[in-house]
Amino acid sequence: MADPAEASHDLGTDRTPRFVPRSEGFQRRNRLADALLAQFMVVVGTGSWLEAHLAARLGRARGLPNLVGCGIDAQEVSDLVAQLPGDSPALLILSDSIAADQGRLLIRSLRQRRSDLQILLLVQDDRWLSQETLSACRAQAIVHVESFGSGTTIRALQALRREQRFLDPRLQEKLDQQARCRLTGREHQTLASLSRGWGNREIGAALGIAPATVRDYVSSLCRKLAAANRTEVVAKAIALGLINPDC
């Protein structure tokens, strides 16, 4: 078999649905992933009991003696990492569901204790991701879960094996879109008001500007976000992480 650190051909070109266990593409990707994971002592961390349970069962079913365990909170993950032998390459596969800060505090703490720890961060909800939060995140590889089955995770593991950083292209595209959509302070205020369902008069009264000026800001937002109307402006802004729909 080809060196798993280099093999990358046809990882995501199989037209069969991604997760059909008997399909050639699925089996090929699994062989590559298993070969790469076998080179590390592995800990898994997730905020989901179900995901932790399934990861542990999968490790047992596939006979992976290098899977140390699966934690469901920061303390459990920290305790498991402490059990990793110091003379072996170590990998933490961490879901951003592990904590409200997407595991960034945990990652910093673990990296301070063990600088050689490789961390693959799995992103389930990318609304927190921005250039600023990315800069503060010390995970060496970051992959969106919707990229599973496309070969992206294999490329991330290959990069970690070479001690290189990796960012899922789908997440890089989001950051690039954010950069292209830089908003002024007034545009941010207008966008926040639009997300509350306010009309031009309400926004103008709140910001102390004329409704016609609000209309100009809305037009600018439509142009920057390539949106056809106010509803689409808000939807695209949420997708890009420019506003938090829960606030």
User: Which CATH superfamily does the domain covering 24-171 fall into?
Assistant: Response regulator (3.40.50.2300)
Higher-pLDDT residue of 1 and 137 is 137
Q: Give the pLDDT confidence of 141-196 residue by residue, as tens digits.
A: 999 999 999 999 999 999 999 999 999 999 998 888 877 778 899 998 999 999 99
pLDDT of residue 9: 47
Instruction: Parse the chain into domains and list their residue ranges.
Output: 24-171, 181-239
To the question of domain 181-239 being in CATH 1.10.10.10, the answer is yes
Same fold, 24-171 and 181-239: no
Question: Mean pLDDT over residues 192-208, rounded?
Answer: 94
pLDDT for 11 beyond 90: no
Confidence of residue 138 (pLDDT cuts 50, 70, 90): very high
The per-residue pLDDT for 246 is 60
- Checking if the pLDDT of 140 tops 50, the result is yes
3-state secondary structure the chain: CCCCCCCCCCCCCCCCCCCCCCCHHHHHHHHHHHHHHCCCEEEEECCCHHHHHHHHHHHHHCCCCCEEEEECCHHHHHHHHHCCCCCCCEEEEEEHHHCCCCCHHHHHHHHHHCCCCEEEEEECCHHHCCHHHHHHCCCCEEEEHHHCCCCHHHHHHHHHHCCCCEECHHHHHHHHHHHHCCCCHHHHHHHHHHHCCCCHHHHHHHHCCCHHHHHHHHHHHHHHCCCCCHHHHHHHHHHCCCCCCCC
pLDDT at 61 over 90: no
pLDDT of residue 46 exceeding 90: yes
Percent of the chain at pLDDT above 90?
A: 68
pLDDT in tens, 67-99: 999 999 999 999 999 999 988 999 999 999 999
